[in-house]
């Protein structure tokens, strides 16, 4: 796929995420999809494989945030197999605390599938509002 096609795919995913629909994002992940969360938070590491991403990132976020979870992309820059996205989340925790993070996501795309993403964000906000990714029953909500 060309940079233009990769950009269109990621723009479509973020148009849906802006409406609280994560299905196109999950469906576009390759089975070997990897998500690297930067920084030194309890979330910061590489989650290797689509199921690890679902279990380690997406499910804990759904446990903490009030639906719909909204992340809107506002700038997309594509080069070959990479698409960078500046984005902003507009969310609240289930405790009613605002979680409006600012992100830069760098995706690697091939053959119409997301292969990896590196996420840059306000790590202090993550640590303060979300705590760690362990189960809510552990008292981190």
Which tens digit of pLDDT belongs to each residue from 42-92?
A: 999 999 999 999 999 999 999 999 999 999 999 999 999 999 999 999 999
- The domain 3-132 is placed in CATH, from the list 3.30.750.210, 3.10.450.50, 1.20.58.220, 3.40.50.10420, at 3.10.450.50
More confident residue, 74 or 139: 74
Cα–Cα distance between 117 and 104 in angstroms, integer? 10
- Banded pLDDT at 137 (limits 50, 70, 90): very low
């Amino acid at each position: 796929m060309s940079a233009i096609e990769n950009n269109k795919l990621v723009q479509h995913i973020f148009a849906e995420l802006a409406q609280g629909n994560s299905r196109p994002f999950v469906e576009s992940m390759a089975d070997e999809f990897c998500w690297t969360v930067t920084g030194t938070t309890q979330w910061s590491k590489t989650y290797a494989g689509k199921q690890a991403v679902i279990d380690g990132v997406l499910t804990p976020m759904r446990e903490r945030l009030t639906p719909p979870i909204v992340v809107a992309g506002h700038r997309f820059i594509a080069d070959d197999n990479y698409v960078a996205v500046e984005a902003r989340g507009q969310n609240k925790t289930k405790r009613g605390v605002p979680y409006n993070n600012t992100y830069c996501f760098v995706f690697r795309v091939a053959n119409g599938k997301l292969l990896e993403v590196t996420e840059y964000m306000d790590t202090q906000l993550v640590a303060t509002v979300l705590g760690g990714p362990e189960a809510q029953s552990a008292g981190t909500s």
